[in-house]
Structure 1
Amino acid sequence: MEEEATHRTVDDHREAVAPRRMAQLGRAEALRLLGTVSLGRIVFTQHALPAVRPVNHLMDGDDVVVQLHDGATLASIVAPTDATGVVVAYEADVIDPETHLGWSVVVTGYARRVTDEGELASFASRLRSWVDHPAMNAALRIRPDLVTGLRLTP
């Protein structure tokens, strides 16, 4: 029986899922939903190619704050003195694996390194690492220029 489950095809799963509708989310609703989860994916440029990493985040107003650790790839994408920042995308979602219902939000904007010690301390106390890392010692603030979201409904 276990072997049968591992040999299911995409077509088998597609037949089991009811048709869905896709509804666009407004900016405010998309950002609100983003604040209901703590894990997402950041898309950035590494060696002139797109790269994606799962990271923890929190919302600070409309901004997305992502924790960093020394030595991590993300820590090197923005220099602490870079006032303009770098363009990144951030995506988070909650989509049921069985029904394929839920939502997805993508934020695109400039990421800047957080340098204020008070802000870093506040973020460190509110962000929980999802892997075993040393304490957070840096953060990125993503200011959303473009916010898109969709909800999948029956």
Structure 2
Amino acid sequence: MDVNGSVLEHLSRDECMRLMGSVPVGRIVYTRQALPAVELVNFTLDDGDIIIRTDAGGKLAAATRGAVVAFEADSLDVTGHAGWSVTVVGHATAVTDREDIRRLEQLPLTPWAPGKRDHFVRISSVIVNGRRIEAGQLARGSDARPI
């Protein structure tokens, strides 16, 4: 037990995917010019895969074709010192099948970024890790500090 009574829980794959499906925004980590790059993107889940809609000619689309990437989503309660984080590592592929594209266009995935976003990237998960921290019964106003 921590000083403030917080509990850290490691999450099952099913719980990780359920939580990811509850938020609209995550971070994709990929390689750009041999260095790590992170971008905030909106996404949706499709049969356990992460789907991102982007510009076909953009850096993200080019860098993720057939690449191994990481994807992270979370939800935090800063005041309550609680929240969860899920990280997925997997292969990113461009969706090229016309029927699949038509089906993905019907998903609730409206790009937030301006411009034409008609390219879909699918991230198939290989490794899924998640953690949730729930605040204990820390008395408000006490001098106790988290470690």
TM-score bracket relative to the smaller structure: 0.7 to 0.9
Runs of 4+ in 1 over 4 A off after TM superposition: none
Give the aligned length: 131
Give CA-to-partner distance per residue, 1:40-77, whole Å, 9 cap, x none.
Answer: 00000011110000111111111111111133211111
SS for the counterpart of 2:115 is coil
3-state SS of paired residue (2:100): helix
Q: Which structure would you say has the larger RCO, counting Cα contacts within 8 Å and 6 or more residues apart?
A: 2
Q: Distance in 2 between matches of 1:49 and 1:19?
A: 39
The answer to whether structure 1 residue 44 and structure 2 residue 26 are counterparts is: no
Q: Select which of 125, 138, 145 maps to 2:126.
A: 145
Query: Structure 1 CA distance, aligned partners of 2:122 and 2:53?
Result: 9
Deviates more, 1:96-105 or 1:49-58: 96-105
- Using the size of structure 2 for normalisation, the TM-score is 0.82
2:27 & 2:9 partners in 1: Cα distance?
22
Residue 19 of structure 1 and its aligned partner are, at CA, apart by 5.0
Work out which of the residue numbers 81, 88, 94 in structure 2 matches 1:113: 94
- What runs of 5+ residues in structure 1 fail to find an aligned partner? 1-17, 80-84
Please tell me the residue identity of whatever aligns with 1:131: A
Letter in 2 for 1:64: I
TM-score (norm: length of structure 1) = 0.78
Indicate if the aligned counterparts of 2:28 and 2:38 stay in contact, CA closer than 8 A: yes
User: How far 1:129 moved relative to its partner?
Assistant: 1.5
1:29 aligns to 2:10 (yes or no): no
Q: Which residue does the alignment assign to 2:113?
A: 131
Two-structure CA RMSD over aligned residues (Å): 1.5
Q: 1:99 aligns with which of 80, 100, 104?
A: 80
